[in-house]
Amino acid sequence: MDASLVQASSKLVSVEGIARKFPGLTVFEDVWFHVAPGEFVCLVGHSGCGKTTILNILAGLDTPSEGAVLVGGREIEGPSLDRAVIFQGHALMPWLTAAENVAFAVSCRHRDWPKHRVQDAARAALKRVGLDAAADRKPAQLSGGMKQRVGIARALAIEPKLMLMDEPFSALDALTRGSLQEEVSRLVTEAGQTAFMITHDVDEAILLADRILLMTNGPRARIAEVVVNTLPRPRERANLHHMTGYHPLRDHIMDFLITRSRTLAGNPPPGYDPRNPPTVRPAG
């Protein structure tokens, strides 16, 4: 989805001037961005710039020192099943099977559903992520990648308006991480799901995102640029580096992370407007 096509009326998420401040420390400030329905947005920046805090604010698990976050035109006031979170850790209940973990979430979403319907929905969600054969295993019997697949199935099963992902693949080995990234890309695209993800992995952002938000280093971090990913879908990790436009896109992001994220910190360029950070299309 091209950012230029996003109109104010189509914003599912609107982040309006949020900040996180402590006595003597401003982690980030004046952060503005939006996410349109069906869009996949990644936030990229160095450790310490407040990425996880921003995601927690979107999830309703934290509150900003300043500003507000609106979802569907309403300011968020805490956690909601309309916003599903996939964490770095799988966050599964160890005493429940994979199917029971997903079913618990489904039952919270659909309290009026009979037990058999909840169970059917849970198993259908696990089948979508290729875990129908492992539905009756407990987390201790699953690999790290399988646990994360259960987390993905659980999030998708409640059909949230917004999927929030906090570097969900960072603890996995490279092969498992690559396969899950492609799985998430496929599932989110098929479902028309809106997603917001934070990551340190540049190729992960390029593989998954429609737009990539680049944050300066903290303290007083902010969004310096919005990068539009013009690489066509579907994208595959193995062939990503062969796609026309990949190298200019990756080089632009790497240049920001290596050099400009530091030099721009606390030193915005002339004419910079935090409500409308520069939009670039390095692969276009």
Q: What is the pLDDT of residue 284?
A: 57
Last residue of a domain, one of 108, 126, 159: 159
Tally of structural domains, the chain = 2
Residues 123 and 181 in one domain: no
Q: What is the pLDDT of residue 88?
A: 80
Last residue of a domain, one of 159, 176, 206: 159
Q: What is the pLDDT of residue 208?
A: 94
Residues 181 and 275 in one domain: yes
| Of residues 58, 20, 5, the one with CA closest to residue 230 | 5
Residues 47 and 170 in one domain: yes
CA geometry: angle at 168 spanning 166 and 171, to 5°?
A: 120
Evaluate whether 146 touches 140 at the Cβ level (below 8 Å).
Answer: no
Evaluate whether 211 touches 253 at the Cβ level (below 8 Å).
Answer: no
What is the rounded CA–CA span in Å between residue 50 and residue 47? 7
Distance of CA 232 to the CA centre of its chain: 19
DSSP 186-255: HHHHHHT-EEEEEES-HHHHHHH-SEEEEEPPSSSB-EEEEEE--PPSS--GGGGGGSTTHHHHHHHHHH
Evaluate whether 154 touches 186 at the Cβ level (below 8 Å).
Answer: no
Q: Is residue 256 in some structural domain?
A: yes
Residues 248 and 271 in one domain: yes
* Buried b / exposed e along 142-158 (16+ C-beta atoms within 10 A): bebbbbbbbbbbbbbbb
Residues 37 and 167 in one domain: yes
Q: What is the pLDDT of residue 13?
A: 96
Give me the CATH number covering residue 171. Answer: 3.40.50.300
Residues 136 and 166 in one domain: no
Residue 194 belongs to domain spanning: 3-53+161-280
Cβ atoms within 10 Å of 233's Cβ, excluding its own: 12
Residues 92 and 229 in one domain: no
> Would you give per-residue pLDDT tens digits along the chain (284 residues)?
444 334 444 789 999 999 999 999 999 999 999 999 999 999 999 999 999 999 999 999 999 999 999 999 999 989 999 999 988 877 899 999 999 999 999 999 999 999 999 999 999 999 988 899 999 999 999 998 899 889 989 998 998 999 999 988 877 787 788 888 888 888 888 888 999 999 989 999 999 999 999 999 989 999 999 999 999 988 888 889 999 999 999 999 999 999 988 888 778 888 899 999 999 999 65
Residues 259 and 167 in one domain: yes
Q: In what order do the strands lie in the sheet with 211-215?
A: 83-86, 162-166, 194-199, 40-44, 211-215, 223-228, 279-280
Q: What's phi and psi for 36, nearest 5 deg?
A: -85, 155
Residues 126 and 167 in one domain: no
- What is the pTM for the complete model shown? 0.91
Last residue of a domain, one of 159, 180, 211: 159
Residues 140 and 177 in one domain: no
Burial of 108 (0-12, 13-18, 19+ CB in 10 A): exposed
